[in-house]
């Protein structure tokens, strides 16, 4: 079983979707962190809608190759959060919630694009919206795994568990390998099947 799909069209669609997903999730995490009292993401330049400030190149390559990837982790100082370390839980959930909302909104654009754009352009745009919406849901559930470099690693920090930076690098490569061999999709499919019909409706297959 493999999680690799290398059709050129899908890889290109995943590239642009991955840039948007990394930006939306990371920016949402940064915004909530600032609202909860940590201005670190503001000083780190994470309050931006430019995707390249949020992209992790390995994570972007992973999503292009397998459909599972991640953005550059947002550094958060739990001691500055008004609700303490448990604010990290709220922050991680906010990133996934933002992606679910984005997936829903992208699907709303499919019909208007098909109606207003020329035939070929409309089909291409609709295909992108569907792929991106599905990736939003996959990423929303995948990123909650408590494994660096995923946003779910904030759950570990909330429990006072620290993962060395070097270990995080090894774990990132392990996630890529697991996704390539289809392990990630197999493990995450039950969560996707639970969430996707609520967000995507009839477009939930993916």
pLDDT, tens only, 151-193: 999 999 999 998 888 888 999 999 999 999 999 999 999 999 9
Domain ranges for the chain: 8-203
Model pLDDT for residues 103-155, shown as the tens digit of each residue: 999 999 999 999 999 999 999 999 999 999 999 999 999 999 999 999 999 99
By three-state DSSP, how is residue 55 classified?
strand
pLDDT band at 203; cut points 50, 70, 90: low
Q: Which of 177, 175, 97 is nearest to 137 (CA)?
A: 97
The region that residue 37 occupies, defined by phi over 0 for left and psi between -120 and 50 for alpha, beta otherwise, is left
* Burial group, residue 143, by CB count within 10 angstroms (0-12, 13-18, 19+): buried
Model pLDDT for residues 54-76, shown as the tens digit of each residue: 999 999 999 999 999 999 999 99
The torsion of the CA quartet 140, 142, 144, 148, rounded to 10 degrees, works out to -130
The torsion of the CA quartet 61, 21, 147, 29, rounded to 10 degrees, works out to 140
């Amino acid at each position: 079983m493999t999680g690799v799909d290398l059709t050129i069209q899908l890889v290109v669609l995943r590239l642009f979707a991955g840039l948007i997903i990394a930006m939306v999730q990371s920016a949402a995490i940064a915004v909530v962190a600032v609202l909860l009292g940590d201005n670190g993401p503001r000083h780190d330049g994470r309050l931006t809608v430019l995707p390249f400030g949020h992209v992790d190149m390995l994570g972007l390559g992973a999503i292009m190759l397998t459909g599972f990837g991640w953005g550059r982790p947002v550094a958060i100082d739990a001691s500055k959060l008004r609700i303490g370390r448990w604010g990290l839980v709220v922050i991680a959930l906010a990133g996934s919630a933002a992606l679910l909302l984005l997936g829903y909104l992208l699907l709303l654009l499919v019909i208007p694009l098909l109606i207003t754009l020329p035939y070929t352009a409309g089909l291409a745009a609709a295909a992108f919206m569907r792929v991106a919406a599905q990736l939003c849901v996959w990423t929303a559930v995948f990123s909650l795994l408590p494994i660096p470099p995923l946003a779910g690693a904030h759950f570990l920090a909330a429990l006072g568990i620290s993962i060395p930076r070097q270990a995080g690098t090894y774990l990132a490569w392990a996630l890529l390998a697991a996704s390539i061999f289809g392990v990630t999709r197999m493990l995450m499919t039950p969560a996707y099947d639970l969430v996707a019909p609520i967000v995507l409706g009839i477009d939930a297959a993916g």
